[in-house]
Structure 1
């Protein structure tokens, strides 16, 4: 796709603004939660409607977060000519700020409409969960990412909440094994944020955005990226203790592409070429989610 030929507020522009590659991060936690639910319930008792609603809610909220990030970083002036990451819609003039504000309102409303029926399956507390998701979706870009809390939010909102709530909506309970899986998922998905912040370390430091990478430095940031993926496998010991050998062993295959991405990150070190590592990391996240889900479903 030739980005120079993108018409303002066109379908191409909106597709780029939605950042389709980031939807991996939304899909993986729900997939893992559904895999545990399918294993524990069996397909006869598995709820297909709440499963679909969880997937749609996660996707729309991710797109909403991308729009919010695009708009508010543009307003702050962070997406200037020094940006190393993929181009952003508002900064490039592909989407007008007014249109983006409307899109943020629309996607937020759509997400709430999709999530509201989950009250039928999980009770009124699902409204509180949804409200937290929406509020922190805004707080991440506007405040918390500048305080270096992005990695914590990833652990909570791309790990604990989506995995555990997806499972709860199917089974009406939580389990220790699912909670451990949610932590492992959060650490894997945090690798995407880590490599993104590693690439932007100089720009973030100038903008006063004190990400974890800015705080600890580039070398420690690379180590954090490697260790974050490894930590997910360490948490997998809990599956082994439960007697689920496949759920423990299969995810170790993830270590191969993860380590390869880490080595590429070290070799490239700086610059726009790190966007290749970003793409590799998004792919690796899906590989991990698929391996764990298959291992869970094999139930051996």
Structure 2
């Protein structure tokens, strides 16, 4: 594997569809409200891509430094741990993606300022800076939150509430209470993906001191937690649809449910945590499918 291939591998492109799900859903909701901006959509997409790659690179570096990435780890090979990319090179690339994320986010905020006031703009700027910090501090720093069981909370906040509601707000300049329902739903599905990752890695994480929620609660309770996450995520879209009923097309999101239910069944049937790796991709794609079908149902 040459250096270019190593960097592409380190970017972990398979994680990007899940990250973009919130941007797609927030933009569909804005389009349905007759307030869609192509510039906002493109810039939000770019900013999210940069933030996700930043998070992936930081995770690669942080897990290598802590020892969480080792020969016993399941999943894709990590660039720093394998020696394909040095720690110095990875730190340099982190700086590049911090600058890309900040620049793109600042441009996004500039475009959104047409519909929001200065105070709201400052709040959005702070949220953007927190997103950059969260992308890095998941596994990097003196007290990475991913090592103390807070990863689920941050994924919920940034992949769900911030991603969906923030995108909608920049498109429209306003928010309504019912929008929290699909945003929470997407956040819970995203947490489900992280929970699968942590269930897969539970043995190695426990050995290396990475105290995820799964390590704290144990695999059996993690399965029940997974069931709760995905079940609530499937209930909330019905509530939103009831409160905002227009046409039968709004039930299009039901097409994603068989895949989500199948994921729950496979998790409960699982005996070997290492065999959960394929389920990460399946649930991530199911989440993207939910985002697209829910959104399309609003605009058809």
Question: What is the TM-score with the length of structure 2 in the denominator?
Answer: 0.91
**Residues 134-187 of structure 1: per-residue CA shift (max 9 Å, x gap):** 112222223111111111111101000111110011110011122221111100
Q: Is the 8 A contact 1:119 1:125 kept in 2?
A: no
Q: Does 1:69 align with 2:59?
A: yes
Q: Which moved more, 1:93-102 or 1:245-254?
A: 245-254
Q: Does 1:292 align with 2:294?
A: yes
The one of 122, 126, 129 aligned to 1:128? 126
Q: Gapped runs of 5+ residues in structure 2?
A: 114-120
Aligned mates of 1:55, 1:246 — CA distance in 2 = 29
SS in 1 for 2:139: helix
Other-structure match for 2:211: 210
Other-structure match for 2:145: 144
List aligned pairs for 1:147-158, cutoff 5 A.
147-158=148-159
Q: Once the 2 structures are TM-superposed, how far is the Cα of residue 271 of structure 1 from its aligned partner?
A: 4.5
Q: Once the 2 structures are TM-superposed, how far is the Cα of residue 245 of structure 1 from its aligned partner?
A: 5.6
Other-structure match for 2:86: 96
Q: Is the 8 A contact 1:233 1:251 kept in 2?
A: no
**Residues 42-66 of structure 1: per-residue CA shift (max 9 Å, x gap):** xxx5211111100000011000000
Other-structure match for 2:23: 30
Q: Is the 8 A contact 2:131 2:158 kept in 1?
A: yes
Aligned mates of 2:235, 2:266 — CA distance in 1 = 23
List aligned pairs for 1:38-49, cutoff 5 A.
38-41=31-34, 45-49=35-39
Other-structure match for 2:161: 160
Other-structure match for 1:57: 47
Q: Once the 2 structures are TM-superposed, how far is the Cα of residue 285 of structure 1 from its aligned partner?
A: 1.3
Q: Does 1:226 align with 2:227?
A: yes
Q: Once the 2 structures are TM-superposed, how far is the Cα of residue 229 of structure 1 from its aligned partner?
A: 1.6
SS in 2 for 1:173: coil
The one of 253, 256, 266 aligned to 1:254? 256
- Provide the alpha-carbon RMSD of the alignment: 1.6
Q: Gapped runs of 5+ residues in structure 1?
A: 1-5
- How many residues align structurally? 288
Aligned mates of 1:15, 1:257 — CA distance in 2 = 29
Aligned mates of 2:251, 2:57 — CA distance in 1 = 38
Other-structure match for 2:197: 196
Aligned mates of 2:189, 2:147 — CA distance in 1 = 22
**Residues 188-208 of structure 1: per-residue CA shift (max 9 Å, x gap):** 111110100000111111222
Other-structure match for 1:3: none
Q: Once the 2 structures are TM-superposed, how far is the Cα of residue 251 of structure 1 from its aligned partner?
A: 2.4
Other-structure match for 2:117: none
Aligned mates of 2:36, 2:243 — CA distance in 1 = 26
Q: Is the 8 A contact 2:37 2:171 kept in 1?
A: yes
Q: Once the 2 structures are TM-superposed, how far is the Cα of residue 95 of structure 1 from its aligned partner?
A: 1.3
Aligned mates of 2:84, 2:226 — CA distance in 1 = 32
Given the superposition, is the C-alpha separation of residues 271 and 180 from structure 1 closer, same or farther in structure 2, using an over 3 Å criterion?
closer
Q: Does 1:82 align with 2:50?
A: no
Aligned mates of 1:245, 1:28 — CA distance in 2 = 23
Q: Once the 2 structures are TM-superposed, how far is the Cα of residue 272 of structure 1 from its aligned partner?
A: 3.4
Q: Which moved more, 1:125-134 or 1:12-21?
A: 125-134
Q: Once the 2 structures are TM-superposed, how far is the Cα of residue 246 of structure 1 from its aligned partner?
A: 4.6
Given the superposition, is the C-alpha separation of residues 66 and 246 from structure 1 closer, same or farther in structure 2, using an over 3 Å criterion?
farther
